[in-house]
Amino acid sequence: MKKLWNTITEHIVAPTQLTGDQVLGLLTPIGRSVHMRRHAASVIIARVQLISALFALLVPLWSVVDLLVFDMRTAIWLVLLRLVSAAVFVGLAWPREVSPSRPYTQAVIMLLIMLMVPPTFYLVSLQIIDASALNDSQRLVMQLYTFMPTIVLGGLAIFPLTALEILLLSVPVLGIAVTGMLSGGAELVLDQHGATLWFMLMMMGVAMFSGMSQSHYMESLVYKAMTDPLTGAYTRRSGTEALELMFRLSSMSGKPLAVAFFDLDHFKSLNDAYGHDAGDQALCTLVTRLRETLRRGDVLVRWGGEEFIAVLPEMPADQMPAFLKRLREAGFGRRPDGSPLTASIGVAESLQDRVLDWTELVELADQRMYVAKHGGRDRAVLPGDLTVMLGVPATAAIPTAASAG
């Protein structure tokens, strides 16, 4: 069974194999990272704007067919309906700034509005056109209108959505299609409507598979672009993007944002004594241990060399001593000689330190990290010059100042 699963993930959802958490992330949007949501939102908004721009031109042009096929009164109503639809498409295609706080919500709302225009046009056209007195040409055009909900379901395939999102977006479209089938007092008949409903469900299934595949591929690319290849922590570039966003959100909400600046103690001496492979292993171990203890919404960034930043939303300064103690008690790993890895930590918190931007927050945490290092290492310096001793100092010999990391 495992071999079959690996074969499926290798050949169908390449370039990376799926884990259980990733499968859950493709089924529902719950648990998507902030970065993934922002990238998905930008893709969805861009595609909605492009498609809306095309339909803003094509929908009014179809008025020529309405004027040629239908009587003047019916054609005028259809033309007016097309102009209203085109106005909605113009509004969606109009350039706008992406919401800094809720980009994904904005993207989904825009997508839902766009998806509802064709089925709504179809439903309203049923009230305009007298189906009891249609000639062959008019009946053909009317049959084309009935395909609008199905086309919309198929169009969902071009968006990086989860299975649940596609299902929820499909429900109103299917509802409109069924309403259209029941118009004029008709009843659902299996031999008359079954094939149409089955085809619509097939389109929804195809859209689910395509949306999930796109989401997984995008997540793979985003992960590779944003994470440090050695440790798996965020890179400095992606970390600054997360910091900027999280600082903006904390400022808008009035909630604290803390930054803990970690620097491994005596890292240079570890590299010199045991080689760079041992140093790399120490960094990887530190990241693994920190991730096991950090909260789900926290962000860990490799800032450079042996320096890491933990971004801690809604973490007030008075909770930091106990939080850092728990991190240290869980351990940062071991040096090759068996002694514990320790770190000097500087902490800054947006509300207590009254900083104006995220760069000032990081600089303040960096300065306090150096105070902790010069004060004896294996400790943290917090706002208010509070020093927290994190644990028993390492048993390894402390190098000279010239070689200290």
Bin 30: left if φ > 0, else alpha if -120 < ψ < 50, else beta. Answer: beta
Taking the C-alpha atoms of residue 278 and residue 232, their distance in angstroms, rounded to an integer, is 17
Residues 6+ positions from 349 with CB-CB distance below 8 Å: 256, 257, 258, 259, 315, 316, 317, 320, 382, 383
pLDDT in tens, 209-258: 898 888 888 877 777 878 888 998 999 988 898 898 889 888 888 899 99
Domain ranges (residues) in the chain: 2-226, 236-389
- Give pTM, 2 decimals: 0.71
pLDDT in tens, 262-302: 999 988 888 888 888 988 999 999 899 898 888 888 899 99
Residues 6+ positions from 213 with CB-CB distance below 8 Å: 12, 13
pLDDT in tens, 168-220: 999 999 998 888 888 766 677 777 778 888 989 999 999 998 988 888 888 77
CATH of domain 236-389: 3.30.70.270
What pLDDT shows up at residue 392?
A: 46
Most confidently modeled of 37-41, 107-111, 329-333?
107-111
